[in-house]
């Protein structure tokens, strides 16, 4: 152990510290597999005081900290490859309180999203942010990237659901931000600044989440469509007539992978595009409206086939076709883009993007899918068998540079919901101006004057 | 004209500048009447370039700028009493665009809220933030204080409705923040930081507002209630059974003032508390549910009398009883508190607050009312005839100090929706910790290194 680590163990005798090779590898990486984990050690604090103690220690010794949740991130935000101390919040994973009048749930940051869902349901309410990694991602990580997911068209991003945050700032101060207030106009809202800051300003040690009523009974539908214009048109049609909770599309190539990975085919025949959509069916009238709009889309030739789930099990099977995609692609070491534009800019951007991908990846398989209703597309580029990792990444980075320029033209963002981390750092200037990036650096300096929190993420370390 | 002003006129020859005594007085104050207006001059830019030019000029000459909207603020945030240049946005008051797919309206900051409402309605949609000052306040000012109002229980504060902001920062840079994106996880969300920053970080020069569907047909009800506990109980009952859009209470003393100011009595007899509430009545079932819940509250003795509006004119007359209060009190030069606590903390705080006010203002009339559903109370202390202004304010400040301590005990905020400005600056530390205030100063320094934007507001100038 280093001198610094000895000192940490002496200061916080109860702190759980790991330094075995297996632990360093496990805690040093996230779902990106590009960097070789090489942390100094792993700290697993159990209390706010321990987190604060670690941050003070890190400031004194000049040791960098990588805050760590479920490490399901796709941008390298939780990678520790340079001798950092990994600060894992996984032991701080309890519900701290529920307030029926406020309809808020106060939790520790290491709680998996799925456990937050279960705790909310236990009070007859829901925490509505949801996505496929729910079982392993942590609520603290969701906050750090302002996670979105599959129900943004109904419920918005994580940001909308945060009533208060306790944060240990990079300077060691414990901040109690907004404290669950609905109305609070008392200066800068640092709660909002923390959301999406990827662990570079402070470490979330407690979150007060807003809950809401469960939605009415829902119906899940799988649609087969001829082309991307049909996907957009059918989204417009469905949005106008139904109360949508989700509207997710994917391509035939995505379907091929998820079927190969064990999912069940739900529609016979081959079609270029598919949509999984979920909408409210509070009563028979809504049920009839859904059938009518489905019929209308079929008549227009914009939907070629479709399945309506008749049971929860069938709905889950349809959802698996969409939610299983990321996992089914993992063995191919995909290079991921996660881009967004304004909803109104989707058609023009999609055409430009499709042309770009077809031109630049002529012999490489590209899988894309996304949340068409909020302007967010996920592009997964699969490494061809036999291609060297470095060559593959070099080519993808070249294309991402072009994609970033296309996004800039269409007013989009290089990261919709994955964050910037390490992966998208070279392209941040396509989305944020030089003046904004300079201000970000300045703000980071205010909260973390010694630059000990997640240095090198978002932008190069100073 | 000063040398600095001469230089401004030379640099921006098209800029409208006013320096007459009447203009200085008119533009130098807001709805607080405590400070004597004494600006250097008033600039009325017509373009973003002129705003940027003024900010650059101010940085070079070390002249302070007071950004100015409708000047309906109640905390002195737009007061110019120290030789500042007032930068009025009133000429930048146009709609710049509407996007049907995104359902956003892009406007200039000087647009009155009421004009924003009308523009949204013109597209069959609504901008749902609303309050009594709608005719004179500006959307830029709403953003600067994160204005709340009478429909927060349904729609939240201004913050929820901002899809993008263009801002001239204190350092002169033009920032184009978030650009209407639904999903954008690309570093710190400065759009959120700007909202509620009271013109101390940047000047909003353009805002992209989210719009939504008009609510279903609504019904307005006036209730008379025996005590504050009944107000809370009836709110709980109504919230559980009806889709509330608003639930506003006021006291008999407030009613007395508003009736004296010309409003029409709607309920015969005298009662200590009143509620104006509005809720959805999409169909007959909802109508019956509303009558049932009203009957239930009457039977419980928690509602003593009530009126249901039978026409839009009658609904407007009921609303006037609540919305006319602020105007009816203005001649009494009220000292205003605008406080909030978590919804769950309302009962305990209310009791403590009532005891405090009764004890500390034994011979002074106190009018209070507010938005019980979001934990926000407005307290108006009326200056007794014959009392000197200075003595009155000294007494109110003494009580506010005690109130701030009570708020701190109950986890509340010294400003729910009016902002801190000058009026609440001495009490900011009851709501935000010393560490938070230090970080606020640091962040301000990053955006406005020379401290030219609204110095002395929020906290003392450096």
Model pLDDT, residue B41: 98
Model pLDDT, residue B461: 84
**Given CB atoms, is A180 within the 8 Å cutoff of chain B?**
yes
Output the domain CATH number for residue A154. Answer: 3.30.465.10
**Given CB atoms, is A442 within the 8 Å cutoff of chain B?**
yes
d(CA B183, CA A431) in angstroms, rounded, equals 12
**A205 and A131 in a common domain:** yes
Instruction: At A350, list the tokens.
Output: 């999609």
The mean per-residue pLDDT over the stretch B259-288 comes to: 94
pLDDT band at B1 (very low <50, low <70, confident <90, very high): low
CA dihedral over A23, A27, A28, A32, signed as positive or negative: positive
What average pLDDT does chain B have? 96
**A204 and A226 in a common domain:** no
**Given CB atoms, is A181 within the 8 Å cutoff of chain B?**
yes
**A175 and A123 in a common domain:** yes
**B368 and B264 in a common domain:** no
Model pLDDT, residue A309: 95
Instruction: At A51, list the tokens.
Output: 């987190």
Helix (H) or strand (E) holding B248: strand B244-251
pLDDT of B213 above 70:
yes
Listing DSSP states for B182-236 in one string gives S---SS--HHHHHTTSTTSSEEEEEEEEE-BPPPPPEEEEEEEESSHHHHHHHHH
**% of chain B surpassing 90 pLDDT:** 94
- Touching B: A residues 200-229, CB under 8 Å: 201
Q: Is residue A444 part of a domain?
A: no
The mean per-residue pLDDT over the stretch B389-408 comes to: 96
Q: Select from B177, B185, B188 the Cβ nearest to the Cβ of A418.
A: B185
Residues in chain A where the model's pLDDT stays below 70? 1
Helix (H) or strand (E) holding B24: helix B21-28
**A101 and A57 in a common domain:** no
Choose the final residue of a domain: B177, B210, B243.
Answer: B210
Could you give the 3-state DSSP secondary structure of residue B335? Answer: strand
Q: Is residue A447 part of a domain?
A: no
Nearest CA of chain B to the CA of A55: how many Å? 16
Locate the DSSP E strands across A255-301. Answer: 273-280
**A315 and A224 in a common domain:** yes
B59 closest CA partner among B205, B202, B206, B204: B202
**B135 and B179 in a common domain:** yes
Choose the final residue of a domain: B292, B324, B356.
Answer: B324
**Tens digits of residue pLDDT in B262-276:** 999 999 999 999 999
B158 CB contacts (<8 Å, ≥6 apart)?
A: B129, B142, B143, B145, B146, B147, B148, B195
pLDDT band at B33 (very low <50, low <70, confident <90, very high): confident
**Tens digits of residue pLDDT in A115-159:** 999 999 999 999 999 999 999 999 999 999 999 999 999 999 999
Model pLDDT, residue A248: 94
**Given CB atoms, is A60 within the 8 Å cutoff of chain B?**
no
**Tens digits of residue pLDDT in B108-144:** 999 999 999 999 999 999 999 999 999 999 999 999 9
Helix (H) or strand (E) holding B251: strand B244-251
Model pLDDT, residue B373: 86
CB A154, CB A171: distance < 8 Å: no
Contact B187 A436 (CB under 8 A): yes
- Touching A: B residues 73-102, CB under 8 Å: 99-102
Instruction: At A299, list the tokens.
Output: 């008549």
User: How many domains does the structure of chain B reveal?
Assistant: 4
Nearest Cα residue in chain B from A440: B188
DSSP at B364: S
Model pLDDT, residue B462: 72
Best mutation target among B182, B233, B282, B400 (most A Cβ atoms within 10 Å) is: B182
Nearest CA of chain A to the CA of B163: how many Å? 10
Output the domain CATH number for residue A69. Answer: 3.30.43.10
Best mutation target among B161, B187, B202, B420 (most A Cβ atoms within 10 Å) is: B187
Nearest Cα residue in chain A from B371: A183
Q: Is residue A441 part of a domain?
A: no
Output the domain CATH number for residue B344. Answer: 3.30.70.2740
Q: Is residue B133 part of a domain?
A: yes
pLDDT band at B372 (very low <50, low <70, confident <90, very high): confident
Q: Is residue A57 part of a domain?
A: yes
Nearest Cα residue in chain A from B340: A183
**Tens digits of residue pLDDT in A419-428:** 999 999 999 9
pLDDT of B284 above 60:
yes
d(CA B116, CA B111) in angstroms, rounded, equals 7
Nearest CA of chain A to the CA of B208: how many Å? 12
Choose the final residue of a domain: B33, B60, B91.
Answer: B91
Best mutation target among A185, A208, A438 (most B Cβ atoms within 10 Å) is: A185
Q: Select from A184, A443, A445 the Cβ nearest to the Cβ of B188.
A: A443
What residues pair up with B209 in beta bridges, in sequence order?
B105, B162
Contact B196 A181 (CB under 8 A): no
What residues pair up with A248 in beta bridges, in sequence order?
A276, A371
Contact B181 A446 (CB under 8 A): no
d(CA A200, CA B82) in angstroms, rounded, equals 39
Nearest CA of chain A to the CA of B131: how many Å? 14
Contact A187 B197 (CB under 8 A): yes
**Given CB atoms, is A278 within the 8 Å cutoff of chain B?**
no
Model pLDDT, residue A330: 87
**A268 and A166 in a common domain:** no
**A33 and A115 in a common domain:** no
**Given CB atoms, is B282 within the 8 Å cutoff of chain A?**
no
Q: Is residue A435 part of a domain?
A: no
CA-based radius of gyration for chain A: 23
**Structural domain for A378, as ranges:** 333-424
Q: Is residue A442 part of a domain?
A: no
- Touching A: B residues 375-404, CB under 8 Å: 375-376
Nearest Cα residue in chain A from B433: A175
Q: Is residue A148 part of a domain?
A: yes
Question: What ranges in B242-364 are assigned the alpha helix state H?
Answer: 252-260, 284-299, 312-323, 325-329, 346-360
**A206 and A299 in a common domain:** no
Contact B436 A175 (CB under 8 A): yes
d(CA B350, CA B233) in angstroms, rounded, equals 14
- The span from the first CA to the last CA of chain B, in angstroms, equals 27
**B346 and B386 in a common domain:** yes
The ipTM assigned to this model is 0.96
CB A454, CB A67: distance < 8 Å: yes
Helix (H) or strand (E) holding A381: strand A376-381
d(CA B8, CA A213) in angstroms, rounded, equals 56
Locate the DSSP E strands across B82-169. Answer: 85-88, 95-99, 104-107, 162-169
**B205 and B242 in a common domain:** no
| A195 contacts on B by Cβ (under 8 Å) | 189, 192
| A416 contacts on B by Cβ (under 8 Å) | 181, 183-185
Model pLDDT, residue B91: 98
Contact B187 A428 (CB under 8 A): yes
Instruction: At B210, list the tokens.
Output: 């989210």
């Amino acid at each position: 152990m280093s001198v610094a680590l000895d000192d940490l163990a002496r200061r916080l005798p109860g702190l759980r510290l790991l330094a075995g090779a297996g632990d360093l590898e496990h805690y040093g990486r996230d779902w990106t597999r590009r960097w070789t984990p090489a942390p100094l050690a792993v700290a697993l604090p159990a209390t706010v005081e321990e987190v604060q103690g670690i941050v003070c220690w890190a400031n004194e010794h000049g040791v960098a900290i990588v805050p760590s949740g479920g490490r399901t991130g796709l941008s390298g935000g939780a990678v520790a490859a340079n001798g950092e101390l990994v600060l894992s919040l996984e032991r701080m994973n309890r519900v701290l309180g529920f307030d029926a009048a406020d309809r808020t749930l106060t939790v520790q940051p290491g709680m998996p999203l799925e456990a937050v869902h279960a705790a909310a349901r236990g009070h007859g309410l829901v925490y509505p942010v949801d996505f496929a990694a729910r079982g392993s991602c942590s609520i603290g990580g969701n906050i750090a990237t302002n996670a979105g997911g599959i129900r943004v068209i109904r419920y918005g991003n994580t940001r909308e659901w945060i009533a208060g945050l306790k944060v240990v700032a990079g300077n060691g101060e414990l901040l109690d931000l907004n404290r669950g207030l609905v109305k609070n106009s008392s200066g800068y809202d640092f709660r909002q600044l923390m959301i999406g800051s990827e662990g570079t300003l402070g470490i979330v040690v407690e979150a007060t989440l807003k809950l809401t009523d469960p939605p009415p009974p829902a119906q899940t539908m799988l649609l087969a469509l001829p082309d991307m214009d049909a996907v957009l048109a059918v989204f417009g049609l469905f949005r106008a007539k139904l109360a949508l909770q989700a509207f997710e599309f994917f391509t035939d190539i995505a379907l091929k992978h998820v079927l190969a990975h064990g999912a069940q085919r739900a529609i016979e025949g081959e079609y270029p595009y598919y949509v999984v959509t979920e909408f409210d069916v509070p009563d028979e009238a809504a049920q009839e409206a859904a059938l009518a709009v489905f019929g209308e889309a079929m008549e227009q030739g914009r939907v070629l086939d479709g399945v309506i789930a008749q049971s929860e099990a069938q709905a889950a099977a349809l959802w698996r076709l969409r939610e299983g995609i990321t996992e089914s692609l993992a063995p191919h070491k995909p290079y991921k883009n996660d881009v967004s534009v304004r909803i109104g800019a989707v058609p023009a951007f999609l055409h430009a993007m499709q042309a770009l991908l077809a031109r630049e990846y002529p012999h490489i398989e590209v899988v894309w899918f996304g949340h068409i209703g909020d302007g967010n597309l996920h592009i997964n580029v699969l490494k061809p068998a036999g291609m060297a990792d470095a060559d593959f990444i070099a080519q993808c980075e070249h294309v991402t540079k072009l994609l970033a320029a296309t996004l800039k033209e269409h007013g989009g963002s290089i990261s919709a919901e994955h964050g910037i981390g390490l992966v998208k750092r070279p392209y941040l200037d396509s989305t944020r101006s030089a003046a904004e990036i300079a201000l970000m650096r300045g703000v980071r300096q205010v909260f973390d004057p010694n630059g000990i929190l997640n240095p090198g993420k978002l932008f190069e370390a100073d």
